[in-house]
């Protein structure tokens, strides 16, 4: 009986008290809403003809006689068109909605009942203007909530002019997270203060907010600054203070900002992302905290006004590509002492490229494994002995190019067998290298290392097989040049402009000798026993002390040119301008004596004996060989004699 009475009473109450399901949509006045629970709702849009001049978000709404507190602004509630190009079927053409009035205009007022602002809530609402004051009740601002509100002038300026929000942005102390892209591309002005309650700033949060002027003040609870958070905020011109609470600086977080003064990265930071301060051209000094273990690529690249010392903490293990480079403004950047971390394992491409004013010694730790290409390119004021740790397993091309004040004999780590292009080019302070395991010396590796000339003769060990173009050009070596039988390739100008003397013997193992390989060297005798069938242009040009040449029977051609570019000038004949050359023994299998091969060799005297195998004599081949006398007998095999081949003989 009692149970029956209770059931009857409940049924009566059910008819009196309406129960609204969660998620019901309704309209109240000019706005649309959706219920959250029996007492709260979110605003999800406005009626099509909403006559906004002052855009005021209501704090309450009524539905079926019940009052609801508006606690949220829904996802994309007032989102405008991003791409405002539309097609008119009536006029058969495209037109730009940017020339029409924005749907939502005026100053925005958000009531103190709002707790959550959803993703893209006001995305591209460029018709809104004035200050944006977010009340202290707000705890969460969604992704791209106010993104792309930065405006632009329209066609009919009198009717539709707006710059979007062009006043100050005021963030509440209740806010804990600023989501990705929340204020991306806005026109806010003045200083920006991130409240102490904020723990995380998402990627792109304030990207391209160029109109901020003055200081950026970061709250004391901030831990993460996401990628591109303040990218392109060029109006920030004060000093930047990063709180001790921050652990991560995202990729390009502050790139293209104009902060001034000295930047201190606190001890709490462990990671500095790629391009974090790229092209922050007004920074004047840098102090790195002692917990950093990773500096990404371009992190401080092209920060031209950074001066003073650069101390890399011992916690640091990784330096990304171009991390501190000033390659686009050579001569600018740090001008103090570089102190390397003992823990570094990786130095990226052009990490210090162009830092020509950095001073001090390169003291690498035994953890170092990789020195990438151009790592210290152009660091011409680094001094002291260059010691590369045995731990290094990779060195890239041009890694130490133009480090002219580094000194000592370089020990190449045992795991390095190939020296890459221009590795030590123009390192004029070095006095030699040791590396018995090296098999391949690349192009221009030691070109211009004229300090080698003070360290005695060049010792080419038995493991080397390949000597690249200009490899030892201009090193000013003295004494004998002994080429071991392991060598198979000698590149163009490989030994040019050195001071070797005595006899050069090229062994049979050599299969290729490039243009100008031994140009302008004072040898007195050359014996060519190589297996290579050709000697190319200018190989021994201007060897002014040369008196005797003995060519082996494997040689079939003198004076071919390896250059295929028609715009390049011919470098000269094989023995051109060897003015003291007196004796030549031509191998019995020579078929071609090429252009200018013996031109201007006045020391050649007496009869010229041409081999019976000869087919072609090139242009100017013996021109100006004024010492040749007697009868000249051409072999029956000869088919062609070039222009002025024997002029002035």
Q: What is the pLDDT of residue 565?
A: 52
Q: 3-state SS string over 28-50? A: ECCEEEEECCCCEEEEEEECCCC
Give the containing element (helix H, strand E) for 536: strand 534-536
Q: What is the pLDDT of residue 332?
A: 74
> In Å, how far from its chain's centre is CA 51?
52
**Residue whose structure tokens are 């991130």:** 194
Assigned token pair, 639: 């088919």
Q: What is the pLDDT of residue 300?
A: 96
Cα(102)–Cα(46) distance, integer angstroms: 13
- Residue 99: how many other CB atoms lie within 10 Å: 12
Q: Is 269 within 8 Å of 289 (Cβ atoms)?
A: yes
User: Residue 345, exposed/middle/buried by CB under 10 A (0-12, 13-18, 19+)?
Assistant: middle
Q: SS3 breakdown of the chain: % helix, strand, coil, rounded to 5? A: 5, 25, 70
Nearest alpha carbon to residue 240 among 210, 255, 224, 218: 218
- Residue 111: how many other CB atoms lie within 10 Å: 16
- What are φ and ψ of residue 524, in 5° steps? -100, -25
Q: What is the pLDDT of residue 471?
A: 98
Give the containing element (helix H, strand E) for 527: strand 525-528
Q: Is 414 within 8 Å of 438 (Cβ atoms)?
A: no
CA 80, 82, 84, 89 dihedral sign is negative
> In Å, how far from its chain's centre is CA 394?
19
Relative to beta strand 512-513, strand 384-385 is unpaired
Residues 6+ apart with CB under 8 A from 619: 595, 596, 642, 643, 644, 645
Q: What is the pLDDT of residue 163?
A: 56
Q: What is the pLDDT of residues 554-585, one digit of tens each?
A: 999 998 765 555 556 788 899 999 999 999 99
Residues 6+ apart with CB under 8 A from 620: 573, 595, 596, 599, 642, 643, 644, 645, 647
Q: Is 634 within 8 Å of 621 (Cβ atoms)?
A: no
Nearest alpha carbon to residue 128 among 170, 60, 184, 187: 187
**Residue whose structure tokens are 């602002």:** 117
DSSP letter for 570, please: P
User: Which residues, given as ranges, of the chain have pLDDT below 50?
Assistant: 1, 3, 5-19, 82-100, 152-162
Q: What is the pLDDT of residue 16?
A: 44
**Residue whose structure tokens are 């958070």:** 229
CA distances from 277 to 242, 261, 273, 315 (A): 13, 14, 9, 20
Cα(223)–Cα(241) distance, integer angstroms: 13
DSSP letter for 234, please: T
CA 535, 537, 539, 543 dihedral sign is positive
- Per the DSSP assignment, residues forming a β-bridge with 28 are 31
CA distances from 180 to 42, 118, 232, 437 (A): 22, 12, 16, 53
Nearest alpha carbon to residue 53 among 8, 104, 17: 104
Q: How many residues does the chain have?
A: 649
> In Å, how far from its chain's centre is CA 125?
37
Nearest alpha carbon to residue 396 among 355, 433, 451, 347: 347
Q: Is 109 within 8 Å of 57 (Cβ atoms)?
A: yes
DSSP letter for 168, please: B
Q: Taking the model in full, what pTM does it have?
A: 0.86
N-terminal to C-terminal alpha carbon distance within the chain: 142
């Amino acid at each position: 009986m009692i149970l029956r009475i209770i059931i009857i009473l409940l049924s009566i109450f059910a008819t009196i008290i309406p129960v609204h399901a969660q998620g019901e949509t309704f309209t109240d006045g000019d706005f649309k809403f959706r219920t959250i629970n029996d007492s709260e709702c979110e605003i999800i849009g406005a009626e099509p003809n909403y006559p906004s001049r002052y855009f005021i978000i209501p704090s309450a709404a009524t539905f079926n006689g019940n009052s609801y507190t508006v606690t949220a602004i829904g996802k994309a509630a007032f989102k405008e068109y991003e791409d405002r190009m539309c097609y008119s079927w009536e006029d058969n053409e495209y037109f730009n909605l940017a020339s029409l009035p924005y749907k939502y205009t005026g100053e925005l007022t958000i009531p103190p009942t709002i707790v959550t602002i959803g993703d893209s809530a006001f995305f591209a609402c460029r018709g809104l203007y004035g200050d944006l004051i977010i009340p202290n009740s707000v705890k969460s601002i969604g992704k791209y909530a106010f993104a792309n509100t930065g405006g632009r002038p329209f066609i009919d300026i009198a009717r539709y002019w707006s710059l979007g929000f062009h006043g100050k942005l005021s963030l509440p102390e209740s806010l804990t997270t600023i989501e990705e892209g929340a204020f991306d591309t806005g026109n806010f002005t003045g200083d920006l203060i991130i409240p102490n309650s904020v723990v995380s700033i998402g990627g792109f949060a304030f990207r391209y907010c160029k109109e901020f002027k003055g200081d950026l003040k970061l709250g004391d609870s901030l831990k993460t600054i996401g990628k591109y958070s303040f990218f392109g905020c060029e109006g920030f011109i004060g000093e930047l203070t990063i709180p001790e609470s921050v652990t991560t600086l995202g990729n390009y977080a502050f790139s293209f900002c104009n902060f001034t003064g000295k930047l201190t990265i606190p001890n709490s930071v462990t990671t500095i992302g790629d391009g974090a301060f790229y092209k922050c051209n007004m920074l004047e000094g840098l102090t790195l905290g002692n917990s950093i273990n990773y500096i990404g690529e371009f992190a401080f690249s092209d920060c031209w006004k950074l001066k003073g010392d650069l101390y890399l903490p011992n916690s640091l293990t990784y330096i990304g590509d171009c991390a501190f480079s000033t390659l686009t403004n050579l001569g600018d950047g740090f001008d103090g002492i570089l102190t390397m971390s003992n823990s570094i394992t990786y130095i990226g491409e052009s990490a210090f490229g162009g830092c020509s004013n950095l001073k001090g010694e390169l003291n690498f730790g035994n953890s170092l494994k990789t020195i990438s290409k151009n790592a210290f390119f152009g660091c011409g004021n680094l001094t002291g002995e260059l010691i590369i740790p045995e731990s290094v397993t990779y060195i890239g091309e041009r890694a130490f190019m133009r480090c002219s004040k580094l000194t000592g004999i370089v020990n190449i780590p045992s795991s390095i067998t190939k020296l890459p292009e221009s590795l030590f080019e123009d390192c004029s302070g070095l006095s030699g290298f040791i590396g018995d395991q090296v098999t391949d010396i690349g192009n221009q590796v030691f070109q211009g290392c004229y300090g080698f000339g003070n360290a005695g003769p060049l010792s080419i060990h038995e493991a080397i097989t390949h000597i690249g173009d200009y490899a030892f050009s201009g090193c000013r070596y003295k004494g004998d040049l002994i080429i071991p039988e392991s060598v198979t390739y000698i590149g163009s100008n490989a030994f040019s402009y050195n001071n070797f003397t005595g006899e050069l013997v090229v062994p049979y193992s050599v299969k290729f000798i490039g243009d100008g390989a031994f140009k302008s060297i004072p040898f007195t005798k050359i014996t060519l026993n190589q297996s290579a069938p050709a000697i190319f242009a200018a190989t021994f040009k201007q060897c002014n002390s040369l008196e005797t040449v003995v060519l082996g029977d494997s040689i079939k051609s003198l004076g071919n040119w390896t250059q295929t570019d028609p715009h390049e000038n011919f470098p000269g004949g094989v023995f051109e301008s060897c003015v003291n050359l007196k004796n030549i023994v031509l191998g019995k299998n020579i078929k071609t004596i090429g252009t200018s091969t013996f031109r201007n060799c006045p020391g050649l005297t007496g009869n010229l004996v041409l081999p019976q195998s000869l087919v072609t004599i090139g242009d100017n081949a013996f021109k100006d060989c004024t010492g040749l006398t007697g009868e000249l007998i051409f072999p029956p095999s000869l088919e062609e004699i070039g222009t002025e081949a024997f002029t002035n003989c």
